[in-house]
Structure 1
Amino acid sequence: MPQMLKVTPTEHGVRLITLHRPEAMNALNTQLLGELAAELAAVEQDPGTRVVVLTGSRKAFAAGADINEMAERDLVGILNDPRVSHWQAISSFSKPLIAAVNGFALGGGCELVMHADIVIAGEDARFGQPEINLGIMPGAGGTQRLLRAVGKSLAMQMVLSGIAIDARHAQRAGLVSEVTQPELTIERAIELARLIAQKAPLAVRLAKEALLKAQDTDLASGLRFERHAFTVLAGTQDREEGICAFQEKRRANFTGQ
């Protein structure tokens, strides 16, 4: 059983995962990242879970990497850091991942937020990459994903100065999709997750993959993937069900076939 996560059993196709290391403001140490990677790997194999909501506490989503753990590693330890494989596993998660963020999302916490597909933030949320203050730089996608999310100028400002931005600024920049009252952040994320969980699983997965392709490839390659995915979905039972449900004016019952 996870020790640094709280996992709510799947309901209506949605599983809620809560980072739970309150004594360290959910700082991301090797154990927590390992438990999260393992939990997401289990979700991949669970057809009953269609969407995951990831959250932290009201005070902090995750306040960064575990500095004390980092201080114990020499150069060899850094080069062989087991957290690298955990981050890779989290990055490869194929189902929709919604982050519900309250409080601080700094350093590794901000990088974890950027692994999510949709970000719902409380008005008290703060996003930043303060690694520069320690004489280092972001190392879990913080430079690459941040620039793609908010653009060059703001990414440079955040990474080179270490200054965090608030939730409204993050929304205007494109890092956050919605801002809500802090006490409603998780509720809103679950509401959206349940809506997505009602959609055809294959269509959701391929649509997510196509959107991510847009970040990583040129337009022509992205369009080729989109056409291929569209063609694949045309032969599914869920496509037939969706059209029939529309014509019959009823709610579709998608099975992932």
Structure 2
Amino acid sequence: MLDDEAIGFSREVAIGEAELAQLPPRSGRTPEQQAAADQVHDRNRRLRVKFLRANVVEIYDRLTAQRTERPRLRELSLAAADAFPGLVPDEKQLTEELQHIQAAKEGREIDQGLFFREVLGNAATGDHLLETMRQPTERAVQLLPAFAESGEVRLDTVHVERRAGAAHLTVHNPDCLNAEDNELIHDMEIAVDLALLDEQVQVGVLRGSAMTHPRYLGKRVFSAGINLSKLHAGQISFVDFLLRRELGYIAKLAHGLFLGDDRPWQRSSAAKPWIAAVDTFAIGGGAQLLLVFDRVIAGADAYFSLPAAQEGIVPGAANLRLSRIAGPRLARQIILRGRKIWAPEPDARLLCDEVVDPRELDAAVEANVAMLSNPAVLANRRMLNFAEEPLAEFRSYMAEFAAEQSMRLYGGDVLDKVGGKWAG
């Protein structure tokens, strides 16, 4: 039955693709031609959603050998493109998209967003995918023996060092103020995996490195959020960045590694408490990160901001977490209005635990490491996270996020910005 439906579906989508092929590339289209392309995409996306909603469990089971295999996001999407032509972009189409700046892309990542909305929206398929994304990466497993022995691993953008039972993760993307891009997300997940896998580590610590940027030369910075220049250049991936960061390393920070479902009486996850040390600022994605940390220490000269409305995109899972942590009024001020919160402000106490002289951050980190090394912290942290963010609630949010964020990437206001002030 599924095969028959898939053949008919692919045939109908192919009609629309043939119409698109007759049009010039997006950057060379007239307004009338772009309107025609939009109509084709609308028609084909209606077909995709209808097919997915009728068959999502069977489709997912086909792609995962009845849920006995665990392809990650990118692999799952490419497998879907092969098994069900027209459902999501194939590798050739994605490679073609990478040749263009964001404003000149066809917008095929929206189809990936629709696919993952349906997969994550179903409890059976969504729970399986969440577990898959919380498994250790192959690269971390390969690096673990060397890290366990030496206590140090240097990735391209993250340095991991074990000191006195704490894994210190230092982000090193200095020329762009530790802004996030595809490469940083990849390295961060490996680094978090190593901290969670190493039995000698009791606590994880995240901090930014010193900058080479002229304005902040020699000064530590926590994070400038998404790299807007790379977004303009079309080098920020929906799947490998925006979706992977939420379902990968940030989910691992919050909920731990998934260790398999063959442990009938033991916990199925490996989790540890985490400390964030904020120097200078935590903007956008950097501020989002703080919402899953157990302790946040900030220098007295630091600030926090989530300029989501100004950027035009959705700030990850901050919309899920910030209202719970800071209250709905403050959450709306920060997300919708772009309010900047300075560490000494009273409202900053809802976003961080301690504010110290910047010169005392090292000492504050060490004191907090000692406090969180208490074995009872793990059990209580697990129960707090279970109560505050049940995985079913997280899965439901991420299903809607997948579609919303993919469409925001190609919203007219976002494309105007990436073609203007973010281009440099």
Shorter-chain TM-score: which interval?
0.7 to 0.9
> What SS class does the counterpart of residue 61 from structure 1 fall into?
coil
SS state of the match for residue 289, structure 2? helix
* Shift in alpha-carbon separation, 1:45–1:179, aligned structure 2, 3 A: same
Unpaired stretches in structure 1, ≥5 consecutive residues: 218-257
Of Structure 1 and Structure 2, the greater helix share is in 2
Alpha-carbon RMSD across the aligned residues, in angstroms, is: 2.1
TM-score by length of 1: 0.75
Q: Give me the whole-angstrom Cα distance separating, in 1, the residues matched to 2:245 and 2:177.
A: 20
- Structure 1 letter corresponding to 2:223: A
Structure 2 match to 1:240: none
Match of 2:377 among 184, 188, 204: 204
Identity between Structure 1 and Structure 2 (%): 29
1:145 aligns with 2:299: no
| Contact persistence 1:168–1:179 (CA under 8 A) | yes
Report what 2:342 is aligned to: 166
Give yes or no for the alignment of 1:98 onto 2:98: no
Contact kept in structure 2, 1:33 and 1:83, CA below 8 Å: no
2:364 partner letter: R
Q: Distance in 1 between matches of 2:331 and 2:365?
A: 26
Letter of the aligned partner of 1:85 in structure 2? R
Q: Distance in 1 between matches of 2:252 and 2:337?
A: 30
2:295 partner letter: I
Q: Which has the larger radius of gyration?
A: 2
What is the alpha-carbon distance in structure 1 between the residues aligned to residue 387 and residue 346 of structure 2?
21
* 1:6 match: secondary structure: strand
**Residue matched to 1:189:** 365
- Contact 1:129/1:162, CA 8 A, preserved across alignment: yes
For 1:110, the equivalent position in structure 2 comes to 287
Match of 2:158 in 1: 5
CA–CA distance in structure 1, aligned partners of residues 184 and 234 of structure 2: 17
Query: What is the correspondence of 1:50-129 to structure 2 with a 5 Å cutoff?
Result: 50-57=202-209, 58-73=219-234, 77-78=237-238, 80-90=239-249, 91-93=251-253, 94-129=271-306
Decide whether the 8 Å contact of 1:56 with 1:102 is kept in 2. yes
Q: Distance in 1 between matches of 2:301 and 2:235?
A: 36
User: What is the CA deviation profile of residues 65-108 of structure 1, one whole-angstrom value per residue up to 9, with x for unaligned ones?
Assistant: 11122223399x53x34442233222223211100001110100
Distance 2:235 2:166 in 1: 40
> Structure 1 residue 18: deviation in Å?
0.9
Q: 1:12 to 1:204 in 2, by over 3 A?
A: same
Spell out, residue by residue over 1:163-221, the C-alpha distance to the aligned partner (whole angstroms, 9 max, x if none).
21011336654211111001111321122113322x22xx332211111123136xxxx
In 2, Cα distance between the equivalents of 1:49 and 1:24? Answer: 30
1:148 CA drift (Å):
1.4
What TM-score, normalized by structure 2, do the two folds share? 0.47
Task: Give 1:27 shift.
Answer: 0.2
- Residue 333 of structure 2: aligned partner: 157
Q: CA, structure 1 residues 23+119, in 2 after alignment: closer, same or farther (shift >3 Å)?
A: same
Q: Which of these residues, 166, 171, 184, is aligned with residue 14 of structure 1? A: 166
Give the number of the structure whose residues are more often strand, by fraction. Answer: 1
Distance in 2, matches of 1:114 and 1:13, equals: 23
Q: Which runs of 5+ in 2 are unaligned?
A: 1-153, 210-218, 254-270, 391-424
